[in-house]
Amino acid sequence: MTETIALHTRLKTGATEEYRAAHQQIPAELVAALREAGVSNWRIWRSGEELFHLIDVEDYQAMRHALAEHPANVPWQQRMSELLAVEDDYSGDDRGIEQVWELP
């Protein structure tokens, strides 16, 4: 069963265009690592400096642990840490944004 996880991150001031450009060229190795970790889809929306992610994944915590030290993910996270206001520790302990309601 797939779960959908919502996340919220924030860009550093002035990092919008570099963040957009980085996501135009996601490394194939990173895409493969995400797929191997159970991610079937990852979408990102931006409003100003606010980023909203929706991730469809088999097991979110397992995915986070699998990618924590993955050789394709580590350099990507280093690059993102230059652009995001808060660094992600990839502990796998977070649960994303709490879902409050869904259309039945």
Residue 37 to residue 31: CA distance in whole angstroms:
10
Phi/psi region, residue 62 (left: phi>0; alpha: psi -120 to 50; beta: rest), is alpha
Q: Residue 77: which CATH number?
A: 3.30.70.100
**Domain range for 16:** 3-81
Asked whether 90 and 48 are in contact (CB, 8 A), the reply is no
Number of domains in the chain: 1
Predicted local confidence at residue 94, as pLDDT: 80
pTM across the whole model: 0.91
pLDDT per residue rounded down to tens, the chain (104 residues): 999 999 999 999 999 999 999 999 999 999 999 999 999 999 999 999 999 999 999 999 999 999 999 999 999 999 999 999 986 655 557 889 999 999 99
Predicted local confidence at residue 95, as pLDDT: 85
In a domain, 53, yes or no: yes
In a domain, 91, yes or no: no
In a domain, 92, yes or no: no
In a domain, 87, yes or no: no
